[in-house]
Amino acid sequence: MTTSFPNRRMRRLRAKDALRGLVAENALCVDDLIYPVFVLPGQDSREAVPSMPGVERLSLDLLLEEMKKWVGLGIRTFALFPVTPMTLKTDCAKEAFNPDGLTQTTLRAIKKAYPDIMLMSDVALDPFTSHGQDGLIDSDGYVVNDETVEVLVKQALSHAEAGADIVAPSDMMDGRIGQIRQALESNGYVNTCIMAYSAKYASSYYGPFRDAVGSAANIKGGNKKTYQMDPANSDEAIHEIALDIEEGADMVMVKPGMPYLDIVRRCKDEFSVPTFAYQVSGEYAMHQAAFANGWLNEDEVVLESLLAFKRAGADGILTYFAPKAAELLRNSNK
């Protein structure tokens, strides 16, 4: 039976800061943060991403320098995304599994410099295809599934060989988790984790990311609706997640993040597996625009937006706010 007012005052537990902390149901810490970084070929090269204020593409030498600061803030997991020159993009995406490619070279170099951090690599073909799609296409422009999976397996293996701790297939091809898992096991990479982009929606929130990796121009107004999920669907996401877990995924992801918190909650409730969300480039860009105009308080909103993922059930968040959030969290603990 519910105790009636005034015996039950809900505000009583909100009266003091220490008391609010004592009864908080969720908490955000730096270990929840995964920082996506964009790497350029060459040396001493730094490019701003206009649609993502504060985010830069960095050549490997500069990336290694910047990582000193990020690791010093306590960030221990990084997601790598390569910026592939147009001259290396082909219909067959062969650069994706080049053992001396940008991603593979970067993985080896970072692991040598920072052996204790976790590196997560993107397994998808859109940075490497001349048409900007996440897979191979047929004569009608349709992204073919099984042929694409063959290339994804080669790409994932090349990343594991280069030192990736986590390979993260983001392509949304059917059956790719099972084949990647089998290939990793067969080649001795039994401890390489798979974080499956299991519920990746055909979202309009990805625009700034495509600018950052240089695939926006290639896709030329096309879309990815034949393989990424329909934003209208929720049950379908649960089926996708179940299949990926069955095929050998260690962790699953929902993307985008905040517009799909209901999917994060359903995933955690129904499967109780390590669940992650991606606060994508469009979410970041919208926040930054509001901050720049003085419409929102940056420090408070950054932490609130990330805490929302934890409340929904996420174990971790990929976010471009990772350094900012890490700094805020460190200062709050002093």
Marked catalytic residue, from 89, 154, 255, 310: 255
On whether the CB atoms of residues 317 and 36 are closer than 8 A, the answer is: no
Rounded CA-CA distance 87/239 in Å is 39
Mean pLDDT (the chain, rounded): 94
Marked catalytic residue, from 89, 154, 200, 224: 200
Q: 151 is written with which tokens? A: 């290339």
Q: 287 is written with which tokens? A: 């926040």
Rounded CA-CA distance 74/78 in Å is 12
| Cβ atoms within 10 Å of 215's Cβ, excluding its own | 24
Q: Please report where in the chains the tokens 């994060």 appear, as a residue.
A: 264
On whether the CB atoms of residues 189 and 181 are closer than 8 A, the answer is: no
Which of the residues in the chain have pLDDT under 70? 1-2, 214-221, 334
pLDDT digits (tens, 9 = 90+) for 211-254: 777 655 566 567 899 999 999 999 999 999 999 999 999 999 99
Write out the H or E segment, with its range, that includes residue 162.
helix 145-162
Cis peptide before 53 (omega within 30 of 0): no
pTM of this structure: 0.94
Strands (E) in 201-239, as ranges, are none
Percent of the chain with pLDDT over 90: 89
Annotation marks residue 255 as catalytic:
yes
- How buried is residue 209: exposed, middle or buried, by Cβ count under 10 Å (0-12/13-18/19+)? buried
